[in-house]
Structure 1
Amino acid sequence: MDLVLLLASAVDPVPEAEDVRAGWGAFWLFVALVAATALLMWSFVRQIRKTRANAERGVFGPVERPEEPTEREHRVEQDGETRG
């Protein structure tokens, strides 16, 4: 095992601290990823707004809502606590 580490260090020396830097390419890649994330979030918000507006207009058909509480809701009201 020591021989492998010795050979690896001889073949691939560790660079000095001042030689290691990210550079402008990494910076612009980071900026591009931030911009892509912002665009995706903006698009997601727009789609959610469209979906909610269409649901309110009834595009997806009638929404059935129970008038009375379900059995689980009834138990929660009686027990006063929720169980996972």
Structure 2
Amino acid sequence: MQVLTAVPQVLSYVVALVDEVPEAKDVKAGWLAFAIFIGLILAVAFLGFSLVKQLRKAEAAEEAGLYDPSDKKPTPMPTVEPDRKDDTAQNGA
């Protein structure tokens, strides 16, 4: 069991020896990463506009009666609160 607990420690020492940490001046954000980031923003915007367009088309088709009316969920009836008498009248105060 002692060997299994020593293996992660040995591996961390080996990784520390092999993996050199770059200097702060050597690390910079590149134009490629910026272009990918902008591309992802544009992709999400495109998907959002496309979703809105498809939802509008589906709503228009439903209003035109292209879908089976039995698939519609029944609209719930509005609930009416019962008339409540004033508590002071019941208590006699």
Structure of greater Rg: 2
Consecutive unaligned residues of structure 1, counting only runs of 5 or more, are 79-84
> Residues 22 and 44 of structure 1: is their aligned pair in 2 closer, same or farther, counting only changes over 3 Å?
same
TM-score w.r.t. length of structure 2: 0.63
Consecutive unaligned residues of structure 2, counting only runs of 5 or more, are 1-7, 83-93
Tell me the secondary structure at the aligned position of residue 21 of structure 2. coil
Aligned length: 72
Offset, 1:6: 2.2
* Distance in structure 1 (CA, Å) of the matches to 2:61 and 2:73: 16
TM-score w.r.t. length of structure 1: 0.69
CA RMSD of aligned residues (A): 2.4
Offset, 1:47: 0.2
- Once the two structures are superposed, what CA deviation does each residue of 1:15-57 show, in whole Å capped at 9, x if it has no partner? 1122122211100000111111100000000000000011111
Q: Indicate the percent of aligned positions where both proteins have the same amino acid.
A: 39
